[in-house]
Amino acid sequence: MISDEAFPVEPWRIRETQLVFDLLPQTESIFALSNGHIGLRGNLDEGEPFGLPGTYLNGFYETRPLPYAEAGFGYPEDGQSIVDVTNGKLIRLLVEDEPFDVRYGDLLSHERVLDMRAGTLTREAEWKSPAGKHVRVTSVRLVSLAQRGLAAIEYIVEAVDDPVRVTLQSELVANEDQPEPSDDPRVASVLKNPLKAMQHEVSDNGAVLIHRTRASKLMMAAAMDHVVEAPGRVDISGDAGGDWARTTVVCGLQPGEKLRLVKYLAYGWSSIRSRPALRDQVAAAIAGARYTGWDGLLDSQREYLDDFWDSADVEVDGDADCQQAVRFGLFHVIQAAARAERRAIAGKGLTGTGYDGHAFWDTEGYVLPVLTYTAPHAAADALRWRSSTLDLACDRARELDLDGASFPWRTIAGEECSAYWPAGTAAFHVNADIAMAFDRYRVVTGDHSLEKDCGLAVLVETARLWMSLGHHDRNGLWRIDGVTGPDEYTAVVRDNVFTNLMAANNLRIAVDACHRNPDAASDLGVDNEETAAWRDAAEAVHIPYDDELGVHPQCDGFTTLREWDFSANTEYPLLLHEPYVRLYPAQVVKQADLVLAMQWQSHAFTAEQKARNVDYYEKRTTRDSSLSACTQAVMCAEVGHLELAHDYAYEAALIDLRNLHHNTGDGLHLASLAGSWTALVGGFGGLRDDEGMLSLNPHLPSGIKRLCFRLRWRNFRVTVEADHSSVTYTLRDGPHHRLTIRHAGEPLEINTDASTTVPVQPVTPLLPTPTQPPGREPMRRHLQKSDLES
Amino acid sequence: MISDEAFPVEPWRIRETQLVFDLLPQTESIFALSNGHIGLRGNLDEGEPFGLPGTYLNGFYETRPLPYAEAGFGYPEDGQSIVDVTNGKLIRLLVEDEPFDVRYGDLLSHERVLDMRAGTLTREAEWKSPAGKHVRVTSVRLVSLAQRGLAAIEYIVEAVDDPVRVTLQSELVANEDQPEPSDDPRVASVLKNPLKAMQHEVSDNGAVLIHRTRASKLMMAAAMDHVVEAPGRVDISGDAGGDWARTTVVCGLQPGEKLRLVKYLAYGWSSIRSRPALRDQVAAAIAGARYTGWDGLLDSQREYLDDFWDSADVEVDGDADCQQAVRFGLFHVIQAAARAERRAIAGKGLTGTGYDGHAFWDTEGYVLPVLTYTAPHAAADALRWRSSTLDLACDRARELDLDGASFPWRTIAGEECSAYWPAGTAAFHVNADIAMAFDRYRVVTGDHSLEKDCGLAVLVETARLWMSLGHHDRNGLWRIDGVTGPDEYTAVVRDNVFTNLMAANNLRIAVDACHRNPDAASDLGVDNEETAAWRDAAEAVHIPYDDELGVHPQCDGFTTLREWDFSANTEYPLLLHEPYVRLYPAQVVKQADLVLAMQWQSHAFTAEQKARNVDYYEKRTTRDSSLSACTQAVMCAEVGHLELAHDYAYEAALIDLRNLHHNTGDGLHLASLAGSWTALVGGFGGLRDDEGMLSLNPHLPSGIKRLCFRLRWRNFRVTVEADHSSVTYTLRDGPHHRLTIRHAGEPLEINTDASTTVPVQPVTPLLPTPTQPPGREPMRRHLQKSDLES
């Protein structure tokens, strides 16, 4: 747990006021910088001490054989693991002969600041060397949002009391040592020396290293170049070997004098381009950086973010924690996506090696809803990446004796990498989640080009998958057996309500897409018989319901399974303390499943069903997945448990700033961070879009005085500002003057001439506030000071 | 496939008339000798060529880490693999300077005979060396049933045409080279050099090698000693190293002269005894052998088997194939069990490394029913072995958060070694199978001492397991969720009928055992409340039934799963060509499951239900498991499909002599071999005992003119002789003069004074003979000549 005193609550910054060695793994993740292409963990400039050294390139992975003690047909043979590539963040400082190392000498002060408007990580340290030499070190680091292949560091060292000779060694280092592996299955496998040195070039001012992965045969180049400002004589020299390159700068400083180094760092990789092509690519990026200059890079960084925040910012008056955290979440979401450009948005972005760097359904299910409303270009890019793997998904479906496409549960490059099929291959809902994300993009942006270009094929092939997975029973009900829904504590089930509703939705939106694009559909072999069969299956889909209890079973029979013994077995997460053979047949839920169905397919449930279902599943949900709290926030808000919803919104938002799942050190929980936006905007703003309309229905908990959020809807920019009594909708601009939205279920026309203010529609909960499993009450905000310091 | 011409049909022998190199893996299994303690594959004396070299000691294994690409709580960390121990079968012959190798020179004739009354493997070869020297080689090999630690070989070489100098090198060799591993999950993992040399001793006449496994730390000793008879001057010398020892015999032979070598081979192993103790143990075994002499060993071997056949033999007039095969099956069953003495009876006995040498539910479910009626002392020993692992099973239950004992799905020494929990840990029925075997032993033998000694504790702890696995639903039905029945193509299901019936039976027999042994039960903490709860659960057990179809679903909902597409997917076994994610939710059955429930819990089904269920499941059962055909034989016979039953009996019996599952080379299918007895005696003899009575009801198919079998029942020896019209029951001897049995459902008293002949009760099938999945029609006997030669 990270105490809430680690980072003072400031609206636009994450500021660490002192360096805590034990928190290094976590702060490296929190202070990670990325543009979706390059990711730099917040490792100290001098490299040591570290929790997990990390420099990542999106899509750059190594393969490794997946071992099975008992093999099975269709099990993936090879896994893909994110690679810690050549580290270019390294700048070592020697004060006289002594290396600047925070573990030695006296660290007089140390502050790091992640500035979410500037897009920079700043560090200021005052240090007295063991020999008593006093220096001030300032570094500013950025990964450029404007120039995709580029990162840069400004490093300044100043002599404070005495004249000193300082030496900077700015480096590129490949195949860094990694910490020892853990037994936790959520942690990545460790690759040892994954990079094979191919070429190194060195000049006085910089160097290039080219490496290739041993098994996946991906080639990467890393280049560095330096601009040095020094008060007097300065020596600059370079040298390099296969796995390292170094630019050395030596000068003398009088008290008050500074040595300033600007390091430009360029990365490129390819599976097909040649060594010279990659070498030239990084050289060009360096040339571009020198042309733009350090100040130019800073300016373009801020410009990019200003534009983002203009459509994305959420103001949360009255809850400073959530205010800071939701911006932190949005900042990391845009960092993960901004320049990913047809590469995956991984579950942990490019902030760590957790889950091997894989992308899951988190991308389409949790991250893209946010991006679609706030940075639609990035959502489109991510969907284009997914569609680029359609052929692989079709191959996988063939292997599984299925029609259409079966997208992977976890992957970097598109191949299925899940080695445990009951919670991997069987979780076919990922396909419907992807389909829904394509359709949401079209509905929300009004941009039909993506569907034409690639979305239609995804919708058609996923529809075909569902047709081969489902079947009509003897009573004409369309059922899907042997699949796993979002909840991984009950797997390989019959008629999972979430999956069945999402599959039916997939079929319906595929029908509609074919009607919108008849020629393209025909090219894909779709005819009227096929779409009729899709429509029929969607109509006949079986949604089990427990009449006696008045709730939806998460899957067929769920509500008659044995209850979990919460009096005895409450070591969380349960998956680390209980076997699947006990978890699966019990009424214990890892994460929102039926409750997520009510969020994503809201129209399929009555208000009373929603209230009863929330009540039933709250008591049985352990939130052992980081994907749960944000969904619970949304649905608790909808049924009127606003304070509980606020607790869950807090938990989703603070997951990494407080290390609530104890694994922030392996990388951030992007889905939960994105979910903090969803908790506020979907929960307290009431945003829904599952019926193709922009629907809103704000209700605030007592702890939030005012909630203001912005979003994009079909080229309109909309601001929603709510307090406890009224809501003001502002249409800032757009293709027309008017837009009809839904407020509290009723149509409301808003226009660009003036804001429209309407009263909040009161919500009264049908049932009392539900309880949670013992030990899984949410971290209530009013307890946070006393409880969280331990 | 092995053609039926490979082994001429002879009632008491398996005779191979020529050596076929491609069939070596299979014939090594078929010609394997064992006494349940030592197992020698039928490798050629000279060691090469070979399919799989194999010398095994029951219970002697090496551990290896079980790898998981995605780990889970409660997954076993270590596997156990049977070890190919020091090979003492090796006798190399040099004719002049040329090694006797059947791949070189001219093999003029070669015959091997497994004699099932003598208990020997005889080999006769005439060979002309590349240099034209003609010799006749005869060897006779046995693994002593009388002296547990002993094997012996008589090796005779005779000069035919010319004088020759012959050299014999009789050897012990540890860490033999193994063939390359296969991808088939049913094949064992390959251990490389598992044995560490500890000590070697050599004399002129023999040697001792002592080794220890590297990880499991088991120590073993192998000793050899020789008696040599030669016509003239003979030189005998010995030498040895860590992994080898050699006794060399050289002499000259004139045409017609013979060199005769008798090799005594002793084995011992222990996890706790010291090196000197083991060395002395094998030396004592050698001394015993020399004292008994070769002829004495042969005599005692035949004596043991005469006694066995007296109570076990089955005569099958009219079907010479089945006649030979059922004796082959019984011979290997007694070989696997005779002197196992509190070690497991593995799925493949000691005939190969298939399934890593593990014991499964096959032991109690398929092998012990046969032994209980034919060699009850061996059944008792096997049950004592199982009970010796009760503490480990209790530990495993604790680990799984269960009460009582959870016996392993697969093991050598008692620890769970199954790395795939849905078809391992979840197959909890193994516990009820074990409990049933204890109770059957008591019912059939009338011997209550086993229950007192150790059976009661097993019954109590397994009953406790079921109580913690099952639960009452809101309607008071007792249900068991999340378990896997015998059919591994549908796993982790709700209310598997087989499991529920067997669990209820487990609870009932535990109640009865506690009443029989009140004090011992009390010592185990059982009180009246506990037994009342067991009785109540057994009474309330839920047995799902599909009213619309009039059949029992194998598990809840099974009959409404999608049908398997047998028009497209018929590459068998399906598990090697289809993923579990597709198999599990389809109505496709690997092996008898509901049908097995009808055999083992016969009283729980009406005749009409049996007929309808057989019909339903026949169409959906692929028999991809070797455990299936024998059960289908029994139930097809019961419902009147006698010809189909005969086909299945043939398939069960001939599984290895015809290599029907294409993996006889990895070891024999002991359960199916035992099942050939069950198919004949349970199927055509109608033997049932699930209600505590000896029940018989013979009906013969047209191809069997007369069936005669013997069995033991409560110290009576009973012979049953049936033809198509009448049955003669003979009570040969016993504790009383009279015994009441059931014939065709009615009580019948038989006595020791005279045989009792009664008419066969005719059976008329309710439904037409069912069909099987395409490509899974049984190997019909009338097609065998034309079909099987390919």
Provide the CATH number for the domain around residue A440.
Answer: 1.50.10.10
Do A285 and A324 belong together in one domain? no
Any B CB within 8 A of A73 CB: yes
Q: Nearest CA of chain B to the CA of A486: how many Å? A: 16
Is the backbone peptide bond immediately before A579 cis, with ω within 30 degrees of 0? no
pLDDT value for A179? 85
pLDDT in tens, B279-298: 999 999 999 999 999 999 99
Q: Is A571 an active-site residue?
A: no
Three-state SS at B723:
coil
* Contact yes or no for B383/B368 (Cβ under 8 A): yes
pLDDT at A187 over 80: no
pLDDT value for B3? 74
Do A519 and A576 belong together in one domain? no
Is the backbone peptide bond immediately before A99 cis, with ω within 30 degrees of 0? no
| CA–CA gap between residue B137 and residue B127 (Å, rounded) | 8
Asked whether residue B314 is domain-assigned, the answer is: no
| CA–CA gap between residue B573 and residue A241 (Å, rounded) | 55
Whether the complex's predicted ipTM surpasses the cut of 0.90: yes
CA gyration radius for chain A? 27
Domain boundary among the residues A289, A304, A326 is at A289
A570: confidence class by pLDDT, cuts 50, 70, 90: confident
Contacts of A467 in chain B (CB under 8 A): none
Structure tokens at A494: 């019959």
Cα–Cα distances in angstroms (integers) from residue B178 to residues A70, B53, B90, B319, in the given order? 20, 7, 16, 39
Any A CB within 8 A of B422 CB: yes
Domain assignment of residue A576, given as a range: 313-342+560-790
| CA–CA gap between residue B516 and residue B428 (Å, rounded) | 26
Any A CB within 8 A of B401 CB: yes
Domain boundary among the residues A544, A579, A606 is at A544
pLDDT value for B790? 36
* CATH at residue B134: 2.70.98.40
A569: confidence class by pLDDT, cuts 50, 70, 90: confident
Backbone angles phi, psi at A29, to 5 degrees: -70, -45
**Of how many residues is chain A composed?**
790
| CA–CA gap between residue B389 and residue B397 (Å, rounded) | 12
* Contact yes or no for B208/B197 (Cβ under 8 A): no
Contacts of B67 in chain A (CB under 8 A): 67-69
Q: Nearest CA of chain A to the CA of B541: how many Å? A: 15
pLDDT at A745 over 90: yes
Any A CB within 8 A of B74 CB: yes
Contacts of B419 in chain A (CB under 8 A): 68-70
| CA–CA gap between residue B58 and residue B60 (Å, rounded) | 6
pLDDT at A785 over 50: no
Percentage of chain B exceeding pLDDT 90: 93
| CA–CA gap between residue A588 and residue A574 (Å, rounded) | 10
pLDDT at B89 over 80: yes
pLDDT value for A625? 96
Of A473, A481, A568, the CB nearest to B585: A481
Contact call for B401 and A582, based on CB within 8 A: yes
pLDDT in tens, A46-93: 999 999 999 999 999 999 999 898 889 999 999 999 999 999 999 999
Contact call for A569 and B401, based on CB within 8 A: yes
Do A612 and A528 belong together in one domain? no
Contact call for B576 and A474, based on CB within 8 A: no
Average pLDDT, chain B: 95
Do A420 and A568 belong together in one domain? no
Residue with tokens 């693994």: B143
Question: Which residue out of A488, A618, A651, A721 is catalytically annotated?
Answer: A488
Residues 6+ apart with CB under 8 A from B166: B93, B94, B95, B135, B157, B159, B250, B251, B252, B253, B259
Do A643 and A758 belong together in one domain? yes
Cα–Cα distances in angstroms (integers) from residue B196 to residues B193, B215, B218, in the given order? 8, 10, 10
B361 is in an annotated binding site: yes
Asked whether residue A241 is domain-assigned, the answer is: yes
Structure tokens at B209: 């090698």
pLDDT at B789 over 50: no
* Contact yes or no for A275/A206 (Cβ under 8 A): no
10 Å Cβ neighbour count for B561? Answer: 22
Of B68, B576, B581, the CB nearest to A421: B581
Interface mutation target, options A581, A583, A590, chain B, most CBs of B under 10 Å: A581
pLDDT value for B785? 44
Half-sphere exposure of A193 (CA within 13 A, CB side): 4
Do A596 and A456 belong together in one domain? no
pLDDT in tens, B720-741: 999 999 999 999 998 989 999 9
Do A597 and A716 belong together in one domain? yes
pLDDT in tens, B98-142: 999 999 999 999 999 999 999 999 999 999 999 999 999 999 999
Contact call for B185 and A70, based on CB within 8 A: yes
pLDDT in tens, A21-46: 999 999 999 999 999 999 999 999 99
Asked whether residue A70 is domain-assigned, the answer is: no
| CA–CA gap between residue B633 and residue B621 (Å, rounded) | 13
B188: confidence class by pLDDT, cuts 50, 70, 90: low
Three-state SS at A177:
coil
B695: confidence class by pLDDT, cuts 50, 70, 90: very high
A178: confidence class by pLDDT, cuts 50, 70, 90: confident
The beta strand positions in B291-387, using DSSP E, are: 314-317
Task: Estimate the crossing angle of helix A320-337 against helix A376-388, to 10 degrees.
Answer: 50
Q: What is the mean pLDDT of residues A7-26?
A: 94
Q: What is the mean pLDDT of residues A380-395?
A: 98
pLDDT in tens, A301-322: 999 999 999 999 999 999 999 9
Nearest CA in chain A to B428: A581
pLDDT value for A779? 81
pLDDT at B368 over 90: yes
Of A421, A471, A560, the CB nearest to B474: A560
Contact residues, A window 538-597, toward B, CB-based 8 Å cutoff: 548, 556-557, 560-562, 568-569, 575-582, 584-586
Asked whether residue B256 is domain-assigned, the answer is: yes
Contact call for A585 and B400, based on CB within 8 A: no
Asked whether residue A27 is domain-assigned, the answer is: no
pLDDT value for B447? 97
pLDDT in tens, B340-367: 999 999 999 999 999 999 999 999 999 9
pLDDT value for A692? 87
Average pLDDT, chain A: 95
Asked whether residue B124 is domain-assigned, the answer is: yes
A691: confidence class by pLDDT, cuts 50, 70, 90: confident
| CA–CA gap between residue A441 and residue A373 (Å, rounded) | 9
Q: Could you give the number of structural domains in chain A?
A: 3
pLDDT at B185 over 70: no
Contacts of A419 in chain B (CB under 8 A): 68-70
pLDDT in tens, B21-63: 999 999 999 999 999 999 999 999 999 999 999 999 999 999 9
B601 is in an annotated binding site: no
pLDDT at B177 over 50: yes
Contacts of A557 in chain B (CB under 8 A): 494, 556-557
DSSP state letter for A350: T
Percentage of chain B exceeding pLDDT 70: 97
pLDDT value for A788? 40
Do A642 and A522 belong together in one domain? no
Structure tokens at A114: 């992640």
Do A478 and A584 belong together in one domain? no
Cα B215 versus chain centre, distance: 27
B362 is in an annotated binding site: yes
* Contact yes or no for B84/B47 (Cβ under 8 A): no
Do A500 and A584 belong together in one domain? no
Do A478 and A440 belong together in one domain? yes
Task: Estimate the crossing angle of helix A320-337 against helix A670-678, to 10 degrees.
Answer: 120
Do A539 and A567 belong together in one domain? no
Asked whether residue B107 is domain-assigned, the answer is: yes
Nearest CA in chain B to A578: B73
Q: Nearest CA of chain B to the CA of A79: how many Å? A: 9
Contacts of A581 in chain B (CB under 8 A): 74, 400, 421, 425-426, 482, 492
Residue with tokens 């799963």: B561
Any A CB within 8 A of B430 CB: no
Residues 6+ apart with CB under 8 A from A410: A355, A356, A358, A359, A360, A416, A417, A418, A424
Asked whether residue A348 is domain-assigned, the answer is: no
Hey, which residues of B are catalytic here?
488
Query: Where are the alpha helices (H) located in A68-168, listed in sequence order?
Result: none
* Contact yes or no for A657/A784 (Cβ under 8 A): no
Residue B580 parent element (H or E): helix B580-583
pLDDT value for A786? 43
